[in-house]
Structure 1
C-alpha cells in the first residue's frame, strides 16, 4: 500500500537519501558530466530551495511511501510564485524498483496539480542530458525541450 506524505522545508532532510540516489542516477545518465555530479551536496541544494522561499516562492514536496516495505519510494518537489505565475518542478525521483508501475506519473501529476491549484501558468523543469526515460515521461505531459544549456567541460 502506498501513501503520499507532504514534507515542508523544516523536514526536507527526509528526502536527502532519495536525493542522493537522484544525483547518482543523473551521473549514470550523463555522458559528459558524471564526475561533476559527484560534487553536488544536499545541504547546498537545500540552500537553493530556502533562497527561493526567502524570495517569495512557495514549495510543495510530496513523498511516496511504501507502507508494506516501510520505506520512502520517491518524491517530487515543486516551487512556485503566485505573483509571477511561475513554477518549477525542481526534483522528481523514484527508486528503480517502483518504476514502470505508474508511480512516477502519479508524483508528476501531483506536482502539476499543485501548480494548477495555485494558478501557475508558466512551468519549467530541467532534465539531465542523457536521461531519455525522464524526457519521455515529461513529454507525455506536454513538456518539451525549449533551450539546451551547455557547460564547458574542463580538465
Structure 2
C-alpha cells in the first residue's frame, strides 16, 4: 500500500454504495459492543441518510472510497474508515480536514468505543456531557465532546 495517493473529495451520489459498504465494514470491525441485530437496524437508518444534506467528504484512492467524514453545524456526525486502512494516518487526514476546512468543534461518540474516544481526545476534544442512550433510544451511552478552548492571547513565553 505504499505510494498510494489519497484524496478528499466532496460526496457524489455515485459514492453512496461504497459509503454504505465502508460504514458496515467499519462498524462490524470496530464496534464489538454493538449487537449484530442492532448493526442491521442502524444499517437501515444509514441507507436513508441524505448525504447531500450534510457536508460529507470521501477519502478516495483511485475513485475507491476508503473512508468518509460528515459534518453538520460544526459537529462531526460521522467518520468511518474501511478497516483495511485503519492505522495508516488516514483518520488523522480526515480529522485535520474537518477541523481546518470545515471548522468542526464537536462530536458525539459511543462511550464504549474507547479507541474512538482516545482518537478524538488526541485532537483536543473533551467530554462535556453523557447520555445513557443513543439517539435511537438504545443502551449505547454517548459522550458529547467538544474542542477544549485555547486562549490564544496568553503568552507562552513567560
TM-score, normalisation: structure 1: 0.68
The answer (yes or no) to whether the contact 1:66–1:72 under 8 Å persists in 2 is yes
Q: Which moved more, 1:18-27 or 1:139-148?
A: 18-27
Distance in 2 between residues matched to 1:18 and 1:6, nearest whole Å: 16
Aligned to 1:99: 86
More helix by share: 1
Cα deviation per residue 1:68-115 (whole Å; 9 max; x = unaligned)? xx62211111112xxxxxx21010011222222211000011111233
1:1-20 paired onto structure 2 within 5 Å: 1-7=5-11, 10=13, 13-14=16-17, 15-20=19-24
Give the unaligned 5+ runs of structure 1. Answer: 54-58, 81-86
Which one has more relative contact order, counting CA pairs under 8 Å at least 6 apart? 1
Distance in 2 between residues matched to 1:11 and 1:93, nearest whole Å: 18
Indicate the SS of the match to 1:115: coil
1:20-31 paired onto structure 2 within 5 Å: 20-25=24-29, 27-30=31-34
Aligned to 1:125: 107
Distance in 1 between residues matched to 2:77 and 2:15, nearest whole Å: 13
Cα distance, 1:12–1:126 mapped onto 2, change above 3 Å: farther
Q: Give the aligned CA root-mean-square deviation in angstroms.
A: 2.5
Give the unaligned 5+ runs of structure 2. Answer: 140-158
1:139 deviates by 0.4
1:25 deviates by 3.9
The answer (yes or no) to whether the contact 2:55–2:70 under 8 Å persists in 1 is yes
Aligned to 2:68: 75
Cα deviation per residue 1:37-57 (whole Å; 9 max; x = unaligned)? 32111233x15x67xx4xxxx
Aligned to 1:149: 131
TM-score, normalisation: structure 2: 0.67
Max Rg structure = 2
Cα distance, 1:66–1:115 mapped onto 2, change above 3 Å: closer
Distance in 1 between residues matched to 2:14 and 2:125, nearest whole Å: 29
